[in-house]
Structure formats: structure tokens, C-alpha cells
Structure 1
Amino acid sequence: MAYEMKKQRAIAVDLFAGAGGMTLGFEQAGFDVLASVEIDPIHCATHEFNFPFCSVLCKSVVDTTGEEIRNRSEIGDREIDVVICGSPCQGFSLIGKRAIDDPRNSLVFHFHRLVFELKPKFFVMENVRGITVGEHKQILQTLISKFRIHGYKVEENYQVLNAAHYGVPQSRERLFLMGAREDVELPKYPQPITKQALPNNLNYKIISDIPLSPTVLDAIGDLPEIEKYPELLTRDWVVAEYEKPSNYALVLRGMKCLNDDYSYKREYDLRILSSSLRTKHSAETIQRFQDTQQGEREKISRFYKLHPAGVCNTLRAGTDKYRGSFTSPRPIHPITPRCITVREAARLHSYPDWFRFHVTKWHGFRQVGNSVPPLLAKAVAAEIIRNLNISPFKPSFGYKLGEEKLLQFNMSQAEQYYQRD
């Protein structure tokens, strides 16, 4: 007699949740992410807007307990299936100077503590490749040892996954560390479902069953040209006319649903182009962008000009205001001589169009660049669903998105909203 899989939605907790890339990916795989922890109140407000059913704890994981997560959400005494974590990566990054004593590096051990307190069946930690090399590798090995001491098996052959291998039009490599309680089997890493599209496709002369990833053109080619809409100089949305979408864009626009997307439906107006506040470039900058070849870097700014037939380079968040830089270089649009918008970045990150970001470009790009591409998170989450012997299902009901004010807060307003000092 064949074993009958349970038809239910698994329970997840997201630590260092940001705007919610991991939250969305796990929801798409069939999880109910019932609680998230995030220290930045601007990100908390964006998360609350997009996930009105998730309890957001706006505080540091350092000051958070497992009991508090249970009591302040709908989880209560129920068993948690997975705790997920995209901990701050700046201290481990291969870009710039890595600081071994960066206090953000110690936050991964609070992730371990909360896993021990919550006792989920599985855990998943995402971070940059930099944590696997040099002095930082010792931090990773210590973390693995701590998990083992507290009754968790950890996949020793941890893998660095590239988002372009999981249907995302962006080359983005990230470490995923997965563990399981002693009473359950370790999940496997997801097999690639796409191969990275390159402008010349020279690497793909050998016939393969794996299709190419979506391209930059697939991702943003249908989006309205923002230069036609003067309203976007003062606000981040407009009712606009779209071009013919690719299959990838059809899904992100909500005009086509994938069979393996088990997320809750969101109510939104398909005619609206959001997260698209324009940037005013000088005539000199516009000319430099115009003169730059697709797939090359502009000589002065070093901004990368996207190639329509390739994938996006890794989108980055930049550093916080206490560490120098305010922004990270934004790619140049492949056709129009300007930097890409937050919505275009979101498309290149696999976010659906209903997902909204903070109205400012700075916060919006931070939220995209700091996050895990949802389709990459979904691929990892699907392997955990498989180990849970759960048959995921699409909910029969949806949710209204949150209040617009959540996307418009400045920092002091967001802190006041969440009653943070």
C-alpha cells in the first residue's frame, strides 16, 4: 500500500527577514511563515505590507527568545517545521574588506540559539560565499559544531547555489547551510532547473535537457518605459501600458500561475506599475550611459550595462549609513540610458509585481539587494517540503495587501509605529 502524503501547510519562522524574499520563496513552496524577526523598522513595515498574515517582531535577534516568537504569533505550542535565516552578510562579503571582528558576524550564533530554543525539524541559513573562505570559515565550522552538540545533523558538503540555476535572471551565488533534527532525514540540495543565459551562448553548444534561465529582456522587456510618465518623478507608481510579456513576466505579473506555486493570492491592480520612481541623470551621464556597450562597465561610474540576452550581475544592497557608502552601484538599463528602477531590479530578482517596496529608491534597492531571490528560496524550500512528506496545496483564499503608509514611513515614523526607542 502506497504511503499517503499529508495535505497541509508547514510552519516556518524567518529570522533577519528583511523585506521578505525568503519568506515569499518558502510561502511559494507551501509553507505558512507565521513569524519573522527583523531589526530595521523600514523593512518591517514593508514585510508587514506584503505579508499581512505574518507576525513581525521588529527587534534584534540578540534580544529575542524562542518563547517570545511563539507567544507573539499564531504558532503557540505548535511544532515548527523550519527556521530560516538570511543573516547580515557584509562582514563576510568578498566585496571590499572582510572584517573578522565585525559584530554582525556573531549574529549567526543567535540564529543557532533560536533554533535550539524553537526546536524546528529543519533549519536553513543563507549567506555570501565569503563565509566559506579564509578566517571566516572557522566561524562556519564553529557554528556547525554547535548545531551538532544540540542534536542537529548538518550537511557537511554545504553548497553555494547560483540563482541563475533556479529560474532567476541574475547571477547570484550564495551559501546555503541546511540542518535537520536527529529524528528526521537531512534534505538534499535542489538540482539546477536552468543554466545561466549568456549573450553569445558559447558555453551551450552541447545539447542539454536543462533550459536557459530567463534573460534580462525576458524579465523587464514588457515593463512600461518610465520616461513617458512624468508622474514618476514625484511618486513611485502610475497606471501604465505594458508591452507583450515573456512567459517569465506573465508569471510575475500574475497573469499565469505555475503549478508548483502554493502561495496565497494577493489582491492588486495589474494595470499599476509600482516601485518605479525615476532618477534624474545629467546630460553628461546620459551620454556616458549611451556610449557604453551592453555587457560592459561604464568607465567612470563602473556601473554595469545589462545585456538583454544575458542575465543581471549580482544586485547588491550597499552598506549602511554607519559604514561609508549609502548606495550600491545600480545596473544601467540595456536600452534606455539610465539606471534601472526598483521594479526592474525586483523583476531581475524574481519578485512578483504585487510585491511592493519602500517608496524611496535607496530603501527600495536595499530591500531587493539584501534579499534572497524568492525563486531560489522556493527551490530550497521545496526540498524540505519533500522531506516532511507533505503534499502542498494552493490556498483557496487570498489576502489584501497592507496600508500604503507602511511603504512611506521615514525611519523615525517607522520606529514610532513599532514603538522602538
Structure 2
Amino acid sequence: MTTKYTAIDLFCGAGGLSLGFKQAGFQMLAGIDANEPALNTYEYNMGGALALNEDLFKVDDSLDDIAKKIGTKNIDVIIAGPPCQGFSLTGSRDLNDTRNKLYLAVVKAVKYFKPKAFLIENVPGMATLYKGVVKEQIINSFEDLGYAVSVTPKPLLAADYGVPQFRKRMFFVGYRKDLGYGYFDFPTPLYNDSNYVTAGDAISDLPSLENDLGSEEATYTSSPKTDYQRKMRKDTNVLYNHVGTKHTDEVKWVISQVPEGGNHKDLPKGVGESRKFNEAWTRYDSHKPSKTIDTGHRNHFHYKWNRVPTVRENARLQSFPDNFRFLGTKTQQNKQVGNAVPPLLAEAIAKKMIKHLNKTDKDALINKQLNLKI
């Protein structure tokens, strides 16, 4: 028995989680966020799913409105990626930071809609924040609602699931106990050090932009060189969001002195002194997955060309296919890409969630048929 399960995405951003779940076979009903540029991107790309502008800080006032706009309270799965700044290892790590409480919006939505399952994604720091207090609060909140909650034993590495990026994320997944669902087992890695998709595998076919800055809509200048590139190009002949940044000669001169895979520590003394923090002047390595894509575009550089990556290059490193077009200003586009969950990572989890749903639903149907015969 195969069922088309429905889902909504809270704090959806541009739609990385939603796209992964859609690719896995879910019917996405809606993405909910308060960031208008990100919602514009979501609506443009997630055909058939509503893009709802709602303030999830005030979720109690939004749930009836969300249900009315969707047209049903019958939702199989709720997925969510609450803003991570409060949990981030680089943030203030303040337990009273209101962003740390945004998981409560998910709790309230789950209590209201009573889905079969839910998923929450966040940064690894969420698990260890204040000696695990926040993690236990989240688990207890959903267990009290009758859900069997599973947490990644350690953060999942996106590169293990075909994403050309060393990005770590943790996940909470819960299933309703009263419907017979048990605890969830997260998907096993599909890749390892010997066969990771690298930055070179991901973006080596894209125009260099050495002689011009490109445009929001362009054409490919070479054929795909790897299976990953063919996968990313599968449904489009148009190259979107591949626009370069105009650097000063001094910045390009500094970048040129950073070796492939190097950073500020590899610069000669006195060069690049304005940026000396951990990720400063980091050049990607074409033979490895990239470092974690962030919401800015000033600290990481192309492994070969003396410039920051374009939105499209970072989108490739996040595993967004080329037909997924980012809208808004370049700054807004970079934030949308950097804040997103890699779709291929989301897809791997979503496929496993469908199997878990199908198995229990199939068993329930068999038992029901047996009882009718008796």
C-alpha cells in the first residue's frame, strides 16, 4: 500500500525541507513563514503548495487561519526548521532568547492538527545548549502529546546523503503512539570519505565569470561533467542566479594568495588582516565537499576563481536543482540559500518517514480486514 501523504512546513524559508519531502513523494500543502522574499521564492518553485505569511511568534492567533486557508485540518505530517540563531554555537546561546522558544510554535501546531508525524530540524548546538535542557524540553513536550520522539544520536552530516557540503544538522522525529506508530530509525549514510560528492563535482561545469558578472538568466557554456551535475540540470535548460560579485583589485589579490582548501592562516603576514576569524578567507577545495554554506557571501571563495561563489554555486552545494530559482535581491537570495535545509538530506529522511508510515498503516489495514472477517 502506497499513500500520498500530506505535509505542511513551518518556518519554511525558501523551501529546502519542502522540496526534499516533495521529491520523496509527499504532497506539500503549504509553507508558512513571515519572510516575504523567501515566501516569494517558495511560491514560485513549490507549485501547488500555498505560501502563507504568518507570524509564528504568535502561532495561537494563526492556526485557525492556516487551517482555513489550507482547507483542512487533516494533515499527515508537520515539518519545521525554527530559526537557529538562538541555538547556534556562534550565537549568544541565551536560554531566554525568544528564538529558542520557537519550537513551541511547532508543539502548538502539532497539538492543533494532530498529524501522524512531525519533524524538527536544527543546528547541532540545539542538542547541547545548557547541558541538553532545551533538547529534553522538546522531547518531553511532544511525548506529553502522545508522540514517540526519536532524536538523531549525533548530528547528520549532509555529505553522507549525497550533498556536496560538510553541513551538520540534528533532527527530532515523532510519531503518534495511539495510531500504532513506533519510534523512528534515521536513514543510514549513503556516502563516505571514499565517494563523497565534492565541490568540483558540483560546480565545475558553471561559467567562470572571469570576463563578466553573468546575469539572473543565462545559458550553460559547457556540458555537465559529472552525474551530480546532470542530476542538478535534469529539468532545465536555463541557468538561474549565476551572477558574480564585483570585487576590488585588492580583494582579488588577497584571494589569489589563498591556496585551494586554505584560509586566512595561509596568507602572508600583513595580508588580509581585516578578517582573521575561523572562516575568514576560506577557499573551497575542489576535491572535498564544501564547508557549511552560510547566509552571507564574503568569507568563502571559489576553489579556482578569485571571487565569492554565486547564489547558483551555493545552491548547487546545498543540492538545490538548477530549475529552483531564487527571487529577491542577491543579499536576500544568499540568505535563502544559507538558511535552507539541503533538499537531498531532507529527501533521505522523508523517504524513510514514508516507509515508517506505510508499514504501520498497512499493518492497521490488515488487522482491520481480519477483524471484519471475524
Q: Aligning the two structures, in what range does the TM-score lie when normalised by the shorter sequence? A: 0.7 to 0.9
Which residue, 286, 289, 292 being the options, matches 1:314?
Answer: 292
Structure 2 counterpart SS, 1:43: helix
Is residue 2:242 matched to residue 1:247?
no
C-alpha displacement of 1:328: 5.5
What do the CA deviations read for 1:172-227 (whole angstroms, capped 9, x no partner)?
1111011110121222101000014xxxxxxxxxxxxxx51211111001112223
Amino acid at match of 1:360: T
Residues 139 and 96 of structure 1: is their aligned pair in 2 closer, same or farther, counting only changes over 3 Å? closer
Q: Which moved more, 1:272-281 or 1:94-103?
A: 94-103
Find the counterpart in structure 2 of residue 275 from structure 1: 241
Contact kept, 8 Å, 2:8 with 2:79, in 1: the verdict is: yes
- CA distance in 2 between counterparts of 1:158 and 1:212 reads 23
Residue pairs, 1:170-249, within 5 angstroms: 170-182=165-177, 183=179, 184-196=181-193, 212-229=195-212, 232=214, 235-249=215-229
Residues 328 and 136 of structure 1: is their aligned pair in 2 closer, same or farther, counting only changes over 3 Å? farther
Residue pairs, 1:10-21, within 5 angstroms: 10-21=5-16
Contact kept, 8 Å, 1:236 with 1:359, in 2: the verdict is: no
Which residue, 351, 355, 360 being the options, matches 2:324?
Answer: 355
* Structure with the higher helix share, 1 or 2: 2
Amino acid at match of 1:282: T
Contact kept, 8 Å, 2:152 with 2:171, in 1: the verdict is: no
Find the counterpart in structure 2 of residue 116 from structure 1: 111
Structure 2 counterpart SS, 1:274: strand
Structure 2 counterpart SS, 1:153: strand
- CA distance in 2 between counterparts of 1:282 and 1:93 reads 32
C-alpha displacement of 1:36: 1.3
Contact kept, 8 Å, 2:11 with 2:80, in 1: the verdict is: yes
- CA distance in 2 between counterparts of 1:296 and 1:114 reads 45
Residues 87 and 165 of structure 1: is their aligned pair in 2 closer, same or farther, counting only changes over 3 Å? same
Is residue 2:26 matched to residue 1:31?
yes
Which residue, 333, 336, 339 being the options, matches 2:308?
Answer: 339
Contact kept, 8 Å, 1:159 with 1:177, in 2: the verdict is: no
Contact kept, 8 Å, 2:210 with 2:305, in 1: the verdict is: no
- CA distance in 2 between counterparts of 1:290 and 1:297 reads 11
Is residue 2:251 matched to residue 1:285?
yes
Residue pairs, 1:158-177, within 5 angstroms: 158-177=153-172
Contact kept, 8 Å, 1:315 with 1:330, in 2: the verdict is: no
Amino acid at match of 1:222: D
- CA distance in 1 between counterparts of 2:118 and 2:128 reads 22
C-alpha displacement of 1:364: 1.1
Residues 377 and 10 of structure 1: is their aligned pair in 2 closer, same or farther, counting only changes over 3 Å? same
Structure 1 counterpart SS, 2:286: coil
Residues 121 and 385 of structure 1: is their aligned pair in 2 closer, same or farther, counting only changes over 3 Å? same
- CA distance in 2 between counterparts of 1:281 and 1:328 reads 12
Taking structure 1 as the reference length, the TM-score comes to: 0.78
Moved over 6 A (4+): none
- CA distance in 2 between counterparts of 1:273 and 1:366 reads 20
Question: What is the alpha-carbon root mean square deviation over aligned residues?
Answer: 1.8
Question: Structure 2 unaligned runs (5+)?
Answer: 360-374
C-alpha displacement of 1:329: 3.9
- CA distance in 2 between counterparts of 1:96 and 1:220 reads 30
Amino acid at match of 2:208: E
Contact kept, 8 Å, 1:166 with 1:375, in 2: the verdict is: yes
Q: Percent of pairs identical after alignment? A: 35
- CA distance in 2 between counterparts of 1:134 and 1:116 reads 25
Amino acid at match of 1:315: I
Structure 1 counterpart SS, 2:174: strand
Amino acid at match of 2:70: S
Which residue, 73, 81, 85 being the options, matches 1:90?
Answer: 85
C-alpha displacement of 1:286: 0.9
Structure 2 counterpart SS, 1:91: coil
Taking structure 2 as the reference length, the TM-score comes to: 0.87
Structure 2 counterpart SS, 1:56: strand
Structure 2 counterpart SS, 1:120: coil
C-alpha displacement of 1:160: 1.2
C-alpha displacement of 1:289: 1.0
Question: Structure 1 unaligned runs (5+)?
Answer: 197-210, 256-267, 318-326, 391-421
Residues 20 and 136 of structure 1: is their aligned pair in 2 closer, same or farther, counting only changes over 3 Å? farther
Residues 380 and 331 of structure 1: is their aligned pair in 2 closer, same or farther, counting only changes over 3 Å? same
